[in-house]
């Protein structure tokens, strides 16, 4: 906008403005992060981002680690919030540093680092690691969207039945939701695990569908009906 008005401002000046604004906002970021880490439940994920690498003439890959809370659809009273924390990698050490003050339910995808964090934290306050049905579902969806894939479509149908129950009980108390899941969702989940195992035995180990099933078996709490999609 400034350039269109004939105003030239050096790139370093613009960068300084952004840096100064970030410094002024950092206390708010700290406050929001502390509030989130005090939550009963968090969602966590990490996203790659290109970062300038001075002297090499190219960028390197860094990561924005995201912690988020949004419980209002399920009766939670805490306000929704998202906080991003930059780290140069996505190893266990970065996850441990991010979550060292958190004790509660941590929802994630199947990335092995989060399992390592839960194991490390088990002895000192601990956390409960749960996984995300949306991540498992997405792999079957990607397989089925472009080609005939009867097993993937059947998996989507079975997962959709769980989502339908969740839609019906959304907004009810946690105790009421758990009671419904034990009666209606638990049998569906208990049937899903052996179905996955049977289909896996029929497939090539290197197939994309086999990888999707292994992801679901390794990541999802198939022995229990709680928690389900949030």
- Do residues 66 and 111 share a domain? yes
Domain of residue 104, CATH code = 3.30.420
Distance from C-alpha of 160 to C-alpha of 228, rounded to nearest angstrom: 12
- Do residues 105 and 34 share a domain? yes
Q: Which of the four pLDDT bands, split at 50, 70 and 90, describes residue 225?
A: very low
Q: Is the pLDDT of residue 19 over 90?
A: yes
Angle at CA 61, nearest 5°, toward 136 and 31? 75
Residues 23-45, mean pLDDT to the nearest whole number: 95
**Cα-based distances in Å from 78 to 21, 61, 82, 116, 189:** 27, 34, 12, 28, 30
- Do residues 75 and 143 share a domain? no
Residue 230, number of CB atoms within 10 A of its CB? 18
Residue 212 lies in a domain: yes
- Do residues 180 and 214 share a domain? yes
- Do residues 151 and 101 share a domain? no
Per-residue confidence (pLDDT) for residue 183, from 0 to 100: 96
Residue 225 lies in a domain: no
Residues 50-62, mean pLDDT to the nearest whole number: 90
Give the residue from 130, 145, 177 where a domain finishes.
Answer: 130
Sign of the Cα pseudo-torsion (80, 86, 88, 94, in order): negative
**DSSP notation for 138-151:** HHHHHHHSSS--HH
- Do residues 124 and 144 share a domain? no
pLDDT for 102-113, tens place per residue?
989 999 988 889
Q: Is the pLDDT of residue 149 over 80?
A: yes
Residue 209 lies in a domain: yes
Residue 44 lies in a domain: yes
Give the residue from 69, 98, 130 where a domain finishes.
Answer: 130
Residue 230 lies in a domain: no
Residue 175 lies in a domain: yes
pLDDT for 168-218, tens place per residue?
998 888 889 999 999 999 999 999 999 999 999 999 988 999 999 999 888
Beta-bridge partner residues of 68 = 43, 82
- Do residues 137 and 100 share a domain? no
pLDDT for 22-31, tens place per residue?
999 999 999 9
pLDDT for 77-86, tens place per residue?
889 999 999 9
Q: Which residue has the tokens 């003050």?
A: 101
Provide the domain count of the chain.
2
Per-residue confidence (pLDDT) for residue 148, from 0 to 100: 86
- Do residues 148 and 126 share a domain? no
Residues 58-70, mean pLDDT to the nearest whole number: 95
Residue 91 lies in a domain: yes
Residue 214: give the domain boundaries. Answer: 133-219
- Do residues 124 and 137 share a domain? no
Cα 45 from chain centre? 5
Distance from C-alpha of 192 to C-alpha of 171, rounded to nearest angstrom: 26
Q: Among 93, 225, 82, which Cα is nearest to 162's?
A: 225
- Do residues 173 and 81 share a domain? no
- Do residues 126 and 150 share a domain? no
Distance from C-alpha of 190 to C-alpha of 193, rounded to nearest angstrom: 6
Residue 187 lies in a domain: yes
Could you tell me the pTM of the whole model? 0.77
- Do residues 143 and 117 share a domain? no
């Amino acid at each position: 906008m400034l350039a269109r008005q004939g105003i030239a401002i050096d790139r370093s000046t613009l960068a300084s403005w952004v840096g100064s604004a970030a410094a002024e906002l950092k206390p708010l970021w700290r406050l929001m992060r502390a509030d989130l880490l005090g939550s009963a439940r968090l969602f966590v994920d990490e996203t790659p981002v290109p970062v300038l690498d001075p002297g090499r003439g190219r960028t390197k890959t860094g990561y924005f680690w995201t912690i988020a809370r949004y419980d209002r659809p399920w009766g939670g009273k805490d306000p929704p919030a998202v906080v991003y924390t930059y780290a140069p990698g996505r190893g266990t050490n970065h996850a441990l540093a991010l979550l060292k003050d958190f004790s509660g339910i941590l929802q994630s995808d199947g990335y092995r680092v989060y399992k390592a964090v839960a194991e490390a934290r088990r002895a000192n306050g601990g956390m409960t690691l749960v996984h995300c049905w949306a991540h498992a579902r997405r792999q079957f969806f990607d397989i089925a969207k472009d080609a005939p894939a009867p097993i993937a479509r059947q998996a989507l149908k079975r997962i959709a039945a769980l989502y339908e129950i969740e839609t019906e009980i959304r907004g009810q108390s946690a105790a009421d939701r758990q009671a419904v899941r034990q009666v209606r969702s638990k049998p569906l989940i208990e049937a899903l695990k052996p179905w996955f195992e049977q289909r896996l035995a029929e497939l090539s180990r290197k197939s994309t569908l086999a990888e999707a099933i292994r992801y679901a078996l390794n990541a999802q709490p198939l022995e229990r009906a709680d928690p389900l999609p949030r």
